[in-house]
Chains A and B, each alone.
Chain A
Amino acid sequence: MHELKIAEDLKDIVLEAASKGNLKKVTRVNVTFGQMVQIVPEIFQFAFTECVRDTSAEGAEVTIEIVPVKMTCNECGTEFIVKDNMFACHKCGSADLKIINGRELFVKSIEGE
Chain B
Amino acid sequence: MEIKIMKNILDRNQNRADEVRALLKDKNVVMVNIISSPGAGKTTLLERTCGELKEKLRLGVIEGDITTDRDAQRLKKYNIPIVVINTEGGCHLDSHSISKVLGSFDLDNLDMLFVENVGNLICPSQFDLGETFKLAVISTTEGDDKPAKYPMLFREARAVILNKIDLLPYTNFSFESFRRDLRKINPSVPLFSLSCTRGDGLDEWFEWIIDQSHK
* B6 contacts A112, C-beta separation under 8 Å: no
In the assembled complex, the CB of A96 is this many whole angstroms from the nearest CB of chain B, namely 8
Q: Residue A81 at the B interface, CB < 8 A?
A: no
A-B contact count (CB 8 A): 92
* B3 contacts A5, C-beta separation under 8 Å: no
Question: From DSSP, what is the main secondary structure of chain A's interface residues?
Answer: mixed
Most buried by B among A5, A103, A108: A5
* B184 contacts A38, C-beta separation under 8 Å: no
Given contacts A86-B184, A87-B186, A109-B2, contact A13 B92 (CB under 8 A): no
Q: Which of B7, B152, B184, B185 contacts A106 (CB 8 A)?
A: B7
Q: Residue A79 at the B interface, CB < 8 A?
A: no
On chain B, the number of residues with a Cβ less than 8 Å from chain A's Cβ atoms is 32
On chain A, the number of residues with a Cβ less than 8 Å from chain B's Cβ atoms is 33
Q: Residue A47 at the B interface, CB < 8 A?
A: no
Residue of B nearest to A16 (CB): B5
Q: Residue B90 at the A interface, CB < 8 A?
A: yes
* A37 contacts B152, C-beta separation under 8 Å: yes
In the assembled complex, the CB of B48 is this many whole angstroms from the nearest CB of chain A, namely 29
Against B, the Cβ 8 Å flags (1 = close, 0 = not) of A30-74 are 010000111000000000000000000000000000000000000
